[in-house]
Amino acid sequence: MTVTGDLRMPLCLLERRMTVIRAKGGRLVVYSALALDETQMRVLEAFGSPSFLIVPNRYHRLDACSWKQRYPELVVVAPSGARAHVEQVVPVDTCEPDFQDEAVRFVEVPGTAGREAALEVRDGQGLTLVLNDIVGNLPRSHGFVLRALGFATDVPRVPRMARRVLVQDVQALRAQFEAWAEQPVERIVVSHGRPILSAAPQALRNMARSL
């Protein structure tokens, strides 16, 4: 399940996406949470029981506190390199979550010094990657500011801003993209932009070459 909303920024609106995975036992893993109204929250609660809240980097902590207030037992997860910043708004329980489901894996993205987290979700068909700011895939029509930051592009790519503030080791990130491309990746869900629903391995190879 995914939900999109807009974040008002200077001179633009940034589309952002929350992704929710239902793990074993109906436990929900909420990645990059958005605040929802009561009707939407009830739809989500019918999908499963919110159990884990993934704050994938320091910039995606905006709505984490409201989720923790609604679900006090929620396990808050952040990558190790972002933990201190996330804890300015909500306590972090762990940087190494156990979802009790071998099909769902938390990953600190190589090359980001623990600043960025992803999820790998496997099913009988293949692999879904849930990625955050290391991939932008908004249409160029979203405007000059987002084009300048590298989030609004003709093709999926690593945004300029993400390279500047998140990526420490380009070679390690390139190697991770190439490693993912060798797996049966069916789709890539990103926090900013359209999900990549076809030719996902080739998109990963292209992003690796662009670094």
Q: What is the pLDDT of residue 196?
A: 94
Which tens digits make up the pLDDT trace of 142-173? 556 667 666 768 788 888 888 889 999 999 99
pLDDT category at 95 given cuts 50, 70, 90 is very high
CATH code for the domain of 206: 3.60.15.10
Q: What is the mean pLDDT of residues 38-43?
A: 94
Residue 23 has pLDDT above 90, yes or no: yes
* Model confidence pTM above 0.85: yes
The range of the structural domain enclosing residue 194 comes to 2-210
Q: What is the pLDDT of residue 160?
A: 86
Q: What is the pLDDT of residue 154?
A: 76
Q: What is the pLDDT of residue 121?
A: 98
- Kindly write down the DSSP assignment for every residue of the chain, as one continuous string: -EEEEEEEETTEEEEEEEEEEE-GGGEEEEES-----HHHHHHHHHH-EEEEEE--SGGG-TTHHHHHHH-TT-EEE--GGGHHHHTTTS---BSS---S-TTEEEEEPTTSTT--EEEEEE-SS-EEEEE-TT-BBB-GGG-HHHHHHTSB-SS-B--HHHHHHT-S-HHHHHHHHHHHHTS-EEEEEESSB--B-SSHHHHHHHHHHH-
**Total domains, the chain:** 1
Which tens digits make up the pLDDT trace of 112-126? 999 999 999 999 879
Residue 189 has pLDDT above 70, yes or no: yes
